[in-house]
């Protein structure tokens, strides 16, 4: 289940990178960058929570 969750992250990163490239030089570039940083921060928080709860321990 965690693999699917974090694999979907990669699916969202590619279109974001393309859109950021299109927005470079405009005021929208900062919005796109901050939006993705918030998205990644939420995913990192979820990963840290799963790790802390022991969801990533394979030998249990």
What pLDDT was estimated at residue 38?
A: 93
What pLDDT was estimated at residue 60?
A: 62
* Digit-coded pLDDT (tens) for 6-26: 778 778 888 888 888 888 888
* Digit-coded pLDDT (tens) for 32-52: 889 889 988 998 898 899 889
What pLDDT was estimated at residue 54?
A: 84
Asked if pLDDT for residue 1 goes beyond 70, the answer is no
The residue with tokens 């859109």 is 19
**Token pair recorded at residue 48:** 């840290």
Contact call for residues 54 and 60 (beta carbons, < 8 A): yes
CB-count exposure of residue 50 (10 Å: 0-12, 13-18, 19+): middle
Q: What's the predicted TM-score (pTM) here? A: 0.70
């Amino acid at each position: 289940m965690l693999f699917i969750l974090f694999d979907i992250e990669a699916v969202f990163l590619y279109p974001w990178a393309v859109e950021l490239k299109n927005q470079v030089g405009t005021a929208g570039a900062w919005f796109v960058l901050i939006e993705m940083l918030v998205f990644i921060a939420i995913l990192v928080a979820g990963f840290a929570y799963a790790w802390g709860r022991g969801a990533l321990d394979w030998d249990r």
